[in-house]
Amino acid sequence: MDIVIPLFRLFEPLDAVGPYELLANVPGARVHFVAPEPGRVADVLGAMKVDVRTRYSEIESCDVLLVPGGAGARLMLNDTEFIDWVRRIHETTRFTTSVCTGALILGKAGLLKGLTATTHWMAMDDLETFGATYTAERVVRHDKILTSAGVSAGIDLALGLCALLSDELTARAIQLFTEYDPQPPYDSGSLATATPEVVARARELAAG
């Protein structure tokens, strides 16, 4: 069972590493990181660099494609070769998935047209330019296409995938093994609960 996660310059680290942590524990799963070119890929926060040995074009099929987001996802929208590869790989997958602004890449590839989908709340308008309808749900599934909201939502998506790729008992065991039992100290994790002041501060932080 091959799970492919493309990394690109300025990817959001938790988008990729969170799902990787869970999916790598699915029996029979083999997780492959791929990149535009073999070498060291730096995340958007700057401190984490991942050595990736495989160019994405070397992958002709996979069971699961998981596309992370980050500032680099927007840059990849202009990479016609990469977008064509995503579209082509989608034809071979059991599940094509995205985390955060990775949904914009699926949208650019034409995979979300006419569907409801989710992404980071700051990218909702961008998502709809690709013919999708944004929803604030944390994870959205349409047949084999799954999208998840910002950053940490990828862990929820991955846990659901664990069940789809194995069974619910295994998924629950992976949840326990990773001790995924979120109990955040604040209730500001979505636009529905965050105050206007928190939203404004989040926008300031995102702007750098």
In a domain, 190, yes or no: no
Confidence class of residue 156 from pLDDT cuts 50, 70 and 90?
A: very high
Asked if 100 is an active-site residue, the reply is: yes
CATH number at residue 8: 3.40.50.880
Whether residue 208 is predicted with pLDDT greater than 90 in this model: the reply is no
* 142 within some domain: yes
pLDDT of residue 91: 98
Catalytic hit among 23, 59, 100, 109 = 100
Task: With respect to residue 199, please indicate whether it lies within any of the assigned structural domains.
Answer: no
> Which residues span the domain enclosing 159?
2-183
Mean pLDDT calculated for residue range 92-115: 98
Query: What does the pLDDT average to over 184-195?
Result: 96
Residue 83 located in a structural domain:
yes
Categorize the per-residue pLDDT at 21 as very low, low, confident or very high, splitting at 50, 70 and 90. Answer: very high
Residue 189 lies in a domain: no
Residue 146 CB: number of other CB atoms within 10 A? 25
Average pLDDT estimate for 184-200: 97
Q: Burial, 62: exposed, middle or buried (Cβ in 10 Å; 0-12, 13-18, 19+)?
A: buried
Per residue in 110-150, pLDDT (tens digit) is 999 999 999 999 999 999 999 999 999 999 999 999 999 99
Number of domains in the chain: 1
The residue that leads in pLDDT, 60 or 208, is 60
pLDDT in tens, 31-53: 999 999 999 999 999 999 999 99
Residue 192 lies in a domain: no
Q: What is the mean pLDDT of the chain?
A: 97
Does some domain include residue 136?
A: yes
Question: Is there a domain that residue 198 lies in?
Answer: no
